[in-house]
Copies of this chain bind each other. A is one copy, B any other.
Amino acid sequence: MSSDTYISQLKTLLDDDSLLTDQESLNHYGKDWTNIKQPAPLAIALPKNTEQVQKIVLWANENQVAVVPSGGRTGLSGGAVAANGELVIALDKMNKITGFNAGSQQIHCQAGAITQQIQQYANEHELYYPVDFASSGSSQIGGNIATNAGGIKVIRYGLTRDWVQGLTVVTGKGDVLELNKGLIKNATGYDLRHLFIGSEGTLGIITEATLKLTRKPANLTVLLLAIPNLDCLMPILQRFQKSLSLTAFEFFSDEALEKVMAHHNLACPVEQRTPYYCLLEFDAHSEEIMNDALAEFENGLNDELILDGVMSQSQQQVEELWKYREFISETISGRKPYKNDISVTPEKITDFLTGVNNIVAQDYPDFEVIWFGHIGDGNLHLNILAPKNMPYEEFTQACEQVNPKIFGLLQEMGGSISAEHGVGILKKPYLSYTRSEQEIVYLKSIKQAFDPNGIMNPGKVID
């Protein structure tokens, strides 16, 4: 059948003005933050409810048309890229908060609701949705769930997975399933909800979600510490964790700090520049806790684990100090960094950082390397910047040649080639460094069960 026939059929399944085919829309909806492929979708469908999503997926099965689910397209692995004539199903019109119950601390929403919208709604009701990251102003809840988004509060609050109590999905076959229905306790067979969380649109489309909320943290306080080397990170984490219940434990390199200060015209937060910094956050709901934090800080100075530091004295200062960490990604985005988002268990982090450091020193001698990450979770963001005169393709090829070394080290240490960005297109060739060949056979069987015609996000995660 021709594209025109497809388009006219699709229009009958949607409301007026809900199928976009103009070039601007195709470009806009066909890519994510990776910008790695030329967008070339067939069309963009904007369904308004689960029923319309189901109709489109059933149609796609009949016509063997590939479907790419599309949220806020803030992904960094190409999971939402449509470059091969796929039909993009964008959830933009399904952005409503459809239920809230203060007693059960639950919120129900359509999958196109923006992360920040959920956070603000919770806040207005004296509650808290704790999954937070740089893209929360544009990322959609459905996309967060499909990638099991993590971010900066994982050490206390876990990942998106931990906040999803119910999902409505349209499977690749076109079945509508209501998974777990918002229940806290439900021991009735395999929990399909958890299969869809992190499935990157390859099993079906998440259309609605029930999320758990929690109590607001009280009096968040930030400590920004200047440290002499990477070996200090884990001892600092362990010391502070003993007396404090940390809500964040982040780190970044001096190169990262330098770039953020220059780009955003910010003053240096500490008096003494050091090779690395770490940022701790905790809720200081009593004076005792503040005293504990200060005592650990003093101990760290005495033992030369910490060389300098600053502690927030107000909510405004909390926000100011977070900028040095939160602005990194956006600051370097103009340089199109080659990103590795990798993790090991926290106990191995020191050995792992040493190993990566050696590889980087040996293999990227001419490239700028920006280190940062959610190091309390064992998660390192390693960003490589191209020299200004190097063609981008040559640069990425050079980076890709180093991948097997870094991923080989990860494999040896039982780590992950993608801690939170997902596999998408970019990490697909490397999946077997983290998942065994036998595991991948099971992944494929599951894909087959939910999407027997292979229409859901083909070419992503697994073949």
Chain A interface residues (CB < 8 Å from chain B): 101-106, 126, 147-148, 150, 154, 158-159, 161-162, 165, 171, 175-179, 181-192, 194-195, 197-200, 203, 215, 234, 237-238, 241-242, 245, 285-286, 343-347, 374, 377-379, 414-423, 427, 431, 434-436, 438-440, 442-443, 445-446, 448-450, 461-462
Contacts of A105 in B (CB 8 A): 241
Pick the contact of A177 from B234, B285, B439 — CB < 8 Å?
B439
Minimum CB–CB distance for A280 against chain B, Å:
15
The 8 nearest A-B residue pairs measured at CB: A194-B194, A445-B449, A104-B346, A185-B419, A186-B416, A101-B347, A104-B347, A181-B414
Residue of B nearest to A212 (CB): B158
Contacts of A427 in B (CB 8 A): 188
Asked if B185 contacts A238 (CB within 8 A), the reply is no
| CA A432 to CA B313, docked complex, whole Å | 56
| CA A183 to CA B410, docked complex, whole Å | 12
Asked if A417 contacts B188 (CB within 8 A), the reply is yes
Q: A436-B178, A446-B449, A449-B442 are in contact. Are A345 and B190 (CB under 8 A)?
A: no
Asked if B103 contacts A462 (CB within 8 A), the reply is no
| CA A192 to CA B447, docked complex, whole Å | 12
Asked if A187 contacts B415 (CB within 8 A), the reply is no
Asked if B245 contacts A215 (CB within 8 A), the reply is yes
| CA A303 to CA B433, docked complex, whole Å | 61
| CA A387 to CA B165, docked complex, whole Å | 40
Minimum CB–CB distance for A296 against chain B, Å:
15
| CA A449 to CA B448, docked complex, whole Å | 10
Contacts of A461 in B (CB 8 A): 189
Residue of B nearest to A195 (CB): B190
| CA A436 to CA B175, docked complex, whole Å | 11
Residue of B nearest to A182 (CB): B345
Contacts of A198 in B (CB 8 A): 187, 189-191
Contacts of A445 in B (CB 8 A): 445, 448-449
Q: A414-B181, A438-B175 are in contact. Are A237 and B188 (CB under 8 A)?
A: no
| CA A344 to CA B106, docked complex, whole Å | 13
Contacts of A439 in B (CB 8 A): 177, 179, 192
Contacts of A147 in B (CB 8 A): 187
Residue of B nearest to A413 (CB): B181
Asked if B414 contacts A184 (CB within 8 A), the reply is no
Asked if B188 contacts A435 (CB within 8 A), the reply is yes
Asked if A191 contacts B186 (CB within 8 A), the reply is no
Asked if B188 contacts A195 (CB within 8 A), the reply is no
> What are 7 A-B interface contacts by the 8 Å CB criterion?
A148-B191, A162-B162, A177-B438, A182-B345, A187-B422, A189-B199, A192-B443
| CA A192 to CA B103, docked complex, whole Å | 33
Most buried by B among A154, A189, A378: A189
| CA A162 to CA B432, docked complex, whole Å | 26
Q: A186-B416, A346-B184, A347-B104 are in contact. Are A442 and B450 (CB under 8 A)?
A: yes
Contacts of A414 in B (CB 8 A): 178, 181-183
| CA A346 to CA B184, docked complex, whole Å | 8
Pick the contact of A190 from B183, B421, B446 — CB < 8 Å?
B446
| CA A190 to CA B286, docked complex, whole Å | 41
Most buried by B among A104, A165, A176, A181: A104
Asked if A188 contacts B446 (CB within 8 A), the reply is no
Q: A182-B345, A345-B182, A378-B183 are in contact. Are A191 and B194 (CB under 8 A)?
A: yes
| CA A364 to CA B418, docked complex, whole Å | 55
Contacts of A161 in B (CB 8 A): 191
Contacts of A215 in B (CB 8 A): 241, 245
Asked if A442 contacts B184 (CB within 8 A), the reply is no
